[in-house]
Chain A
Amino acid sequence: MNEIIALLRPRFLSFKNTGDSRSAGSRRVRYLLFGAIGLAFWIGAFLVFYRVLNYFQGIEEFGDVLARKLLSMVLLTFFSLLVFSGIVASLSKLYLSRDLLLVHSLPVSGWKIFLARWLESTIDSSWMVILFSLPVFLSYGIVYHAGPFFYATAGMSLIALCLIASAISALAVVIAAVLLPAGRIRTVFVFFGLLLVIALILAFRLMRPERLVNPENFATLLLYLREMGTPGSPFLPTTWVFDSLNAALSGLKGEAFFHLALAWSCAAALAFVGTWTAGAFYFRGYTKAQTTAEKLFPHKNGPREKRNPLIERLSGPAWAFTVKEFRTFFRDQTQWPQLFMIAALIVIYLYNFSVLPLGQSKIRTVYLQNIFSFLNMGLASFVLTAIAARFVYPAVSFEGDAFWIVRVAPISLKTFLWVKFAVYGLPLLILAEILIVSSNLLLQVTPFMMGLSVVTVFLMTPGVVALGVGLGAAYPDFKSENPAQAVTSFGGLLFMLLAAGFIAAVIILEAGPVYQLFMADYHGRSLSVLHWTWLIVSFALVLLLCILAVVLSMRLGERRLRG
């Protein structure tokens, strides 16, 4: 036990000492910002659940069934998220961490290393789910007037669920590391993990939970509700947790304890099996994971490789960086699952537009279609921001230890950053335009709205990409083990806030004149001189804002990177 505590100590000490280090000031600001955003999300989640549960309470007979079904869906979602993040965390802790060479050289057995790492990955993969599940349980507790016993049961069952999920993940990782081909372990796991999440999102989306809150659908939902009332599989951990919470809500303490005991005994058994398996297989898998992969991309073209005619006009170094950027991006297997994830998000995004109940609304459809189309510009840009946060913002940090090559190469930092801008900007522009055009087609908007959306997105995308490149260069992290996580840094957060502010400013500037234009067209009258002036000034400001976003961000990035 002492050895396990000793193995965990560097983590605790590092956390404690972080406050003493030089960047403590910016970290405090980051924590404050994250805390504020987290709190807003927390309160939002609580209010949504509280309102939905109150609404359910108002529906006679079905209210409880719906509330309980919602709880089981929430638990299933939590469990899937826990398994996914458990896979990623335990894979990283057990096979990819930089301190593993040191740890394995110490006189500690494999199962002890596993146990310490498993505990660490359980905390890492669960704390956020636990934190954001609290408003859900709180809203259930308040709506059902539950006592302290319910909250204690919720806490205990949630911890058991986290332990079970992370034990299953760690066990799967240890077994797969022995079975899977060396060098592919990380990719395969991240791929399957993301596939699980994508399947879950798609399944949840295609179930159309919004129908549950539409009273008109209740007649056709009777059969569905009957089906909903059936209990889950008795072998699923989420069923034990659900049964335990359900019993606690109803005040049945004995039953709650029984199901809680099932969950905890499963967690204990899995911990034992995991530790035993690790004792037998962990080191073998670790050795295998260190083996480099076979050559995946044999050199085909030789040194006199033909230049792509599209980029041959670039200078030698700029061309070299462009080619390097493309190659490293597509050869980094960890990027591939992310691309699948984006594809799934886009499908869901477009699907949501296809199921919008436009015909059922009392508001005139044309009006609603155009309102949605307008909002869609903002939404598509936020999707773009999320993608940019994942790919564009870390682009400079991805240079890592190889950044010295950029510094010594006969290429200015300005050119280097513009290469990044072009390499990521063009695909993102195409993606954004596809998003906006296809969602507008689904909404059947007017040609004016279509034109306006296409032009606005065309202007905004370079601004968002430049913000990503510029702030990524202003706050680079060349030492990060996973630069993709750079978005959670202070600079990453600043990027997201500035990008959101930029998008909001553009939308607000356009909203007023477009509304006037729309209403004038609707009532068949022409615009006044004042309205025309407003329109021209607003659109000129949008153009100026977009140009400034590009120029200032790129300059900031260049200046900070040089400094």
Chain B
Amino acid sequence: MIELTDLTKQYGSTLAVDHLNLTVAKGEIFGFIGPNGAGKTTTIRMMAGVLGPTGGTVRVGGIPMATDPEAAKRIIGFIPDRPFLYEKLTGMEFMRFVADLYGCGDDLFQQKAEQLLIQFSLYDWADHLIEAYSHGMKQRLIIASALLHEPRVIIVDEPMVGLDPAGIRMVKDLLRELARNGTTIFMSTHTLEIAEDLCDRIGVIHHGRLVALGTTGDLRGTALLQEGDLEEVFLRLTGKEAP
């Protein structure tokens, strides 16, 4: 469902993403982890089509992002790490805006918007200006609007930031359910427990390169560890372990 081939991004003299090759299958929850500045957000933005690569290709659902970005974006639900929301719009107006651009019809919008707003505990706030929302509410609104058009692929950068424990549980359950129904989820996170708990496979990126890929067990093997959790594996793979 997602294919990254030799994906490269250079910022001046800095190589942010270095010939990344990766395939994520339909219905898979893929975790993307790495230290700060490793290239996670850059990779995610190239996958979402908001940043052009220096080299290589991104294909989503078989559609090349470079040549047919609109078709590719139509099947993606993108949740960025620092989402922008129009503060002077109400939650419902914002969802309407997103729905219009994804071409959701009126009937589908009414039905989906109401269902999502209830699911994300935002229904009572739907007609309030977004400027009055808390950080967690804004995050929930962004996730809800990314699901409006029933995307086949969800690309999410740090999904749990700002959510309370109930919100985290709800999002985790939701992602599992979506994956069961065939939605592919590509998720970047620093919360290793969530990655370990939720993801079918995990990729570790360091200095723009994919240094390990597989299940937690596979990663343990790559890190030459007999036992230990994902945190220990991560620290070993990225050379950040305590002396």
Residues of A participating in the B interface, judged by any CB pair closer than 8 Å: 2-3, 6-7, 9-10, 13-15, 17-18, 20-21, 98-99, 101-102, 104-109, 182, 283-284, 287, 290-294
Contact = CB atoms under 8 A, between A and B. Distances in A.
Contact of A108 (B70, B76, B89): B70
Given A21-B131, A99-B86, 8 more contacts: A17-B90, A99-B84, A102-B83, A105-B48, A105-B73, A182-B12, A287-B51, A293-B12
Contacts of B101: 3, 6-7, 106-108
B84 A13 contact: no
B169 interface: no
Contacts of A292: 11-12
A14 B48 contact: no
B70 A107 contact: yes
Given A106-B102, A107-B71, A291-B12, A101 B50 contact: yes
Nearest to B74: A107
Given A3-B101, A107-B101, A108-B101, A102 B84 contact: yes
Contact of B84 (A7, A98, A107): A98
Nearest to A105: B78
Nearest to A181: B12
Nearest to B83: A102
Nearest to B155: A105
B80 A10 contact: no
A98 B82 CA distance: 10
B70 A109 contact: yes
Interface of B: 11-13, 45, 48-52, 69-71, 73-74, 76, 78, 80, 83-90, 93-94, 97-98, 100-103, 129, 131
Contacts of A104: 49-50
A21 B89 CA distance: 10
Contacts of A7: 101
Contacts of A108: 70, 101
Contacts of A14: 86-89
Q: Which 7 A-B pairs have the closest CB atoms?
A: A14-B88, A287-B52, A6-B100, A107-B73, A107-B74, A104-B50, A105-B78
B100 A284 contact: no
A20 B49 contact: no
Contacts of A99: 84, 86
Contacts of A17: 88-90, 93, 129
Contacts of B73: 105-107
B89 A10 contact: yes
Contacts of A9: 97, 100
Among A14, A102, A291, residue most surrounded by chain B Cβ atoms (within 10 Å): A102
B12 A101 contact: no
30 contacts: A2-B100, A3-B101, A6-B101, A10-B86, A10-B89, A10-B97, A13-B86, A13-B88, A14-B87, A14-B88, A17-B88, A17-B90, A17-B93, A17-B129, A20-B129, A99-B84, A99-B86, A104-B49, A105-B80, A106-B98, A107-B69, A107-B71, A107-B74, A107-B101, A109-B69, A109-B70, A182-B12, A283-B69, A291-B12, A292-B11
A93 to B, nearest CB: 14
Nearest to B78: A105
B89 A105 contact: no
Contacts of B89: 10, 13-14, 17
Nearest to B101: A106
A21 B11 contact: no
A6 B51 CA distance: 22
A182 B11 CA distance: 9
A21 B88 contact: yes
Contacts of B85: 102
B129 A21 contact: yes
Contacts of A283: 52, 69
B84 A101 contact: yes
Nearest to A183: B12
Contacts of A13: 86, 88-89, 93
Contacts of B13: 294
Residue from B83, B85, B86, B90 with most neighbouring chain A CB atoms (10 Å): B86
Contacts of B100: 2-3, 6, 9
Contacts of A101: 45, 50, 80, 84
Nearest to B79: A105
A314 B70 CA distance: 58
A17 B48 CA distance: 30
Nearest to A7: B101
A397 B110 CA distance: 41
A41 to B, nearest CB: 29
Contacts of B51: 287, 290
Residue among B49, B85, B86, B101 with max Cβ neighbours from chain A (10 Å): B101
A296 to B, nearest CB: 11
A105 B50 contact: yes
B40 to A, nearest CB: 15
A109 B67 CA distance: 11
A105 B49 CA distance: 6
Contacts of B98: 106
B97 A6 contact: yes
A17 B13 CA distance: 45
B69 A294 contact: no
Nearest to A6: B100
Contacts of A294: 12-13
A221 to B, nearest CB: 55
Contacts of B84: 98-99, 101-102
A98 B80 CA distance: 13
A316 to B, nearest CB: 29
Contacts of A182: 11-12
Contacts of A106: 73, 98, 101-102
A106 B98 CA distance: 8
Nearest to B52: A287
Nearest to A14: B88
B202 to A, nearest CB: 24
Contacts of A291: 11-12
Nearest to B75: A107
A107 B52 contact: no
Contacts of A287: 51-52
A107 B90 CA distance: 22
Contacts of B45: 101
Contacts of A2: 100
A109 to B, nearest CB: 6
Nearest to B14: A292
Contacts of B103: 107
Nearest to B80: A101
Contacts of A6: 97, 100-101
A102 B76 CA distance: 13
Nearest to A292: B11
B48 to A, nearest CB: 5
Contacts of B88: 13-15, 17-18, 21
Nearest to B88: A14
Contacts of A18: 88
A355 to B, nearest CB: 49
Contacts of A290: 51
Contacts of A102: 80, 83-85
Contacts of B69: 107, 109, 283
A441 B80 CA distance: 61
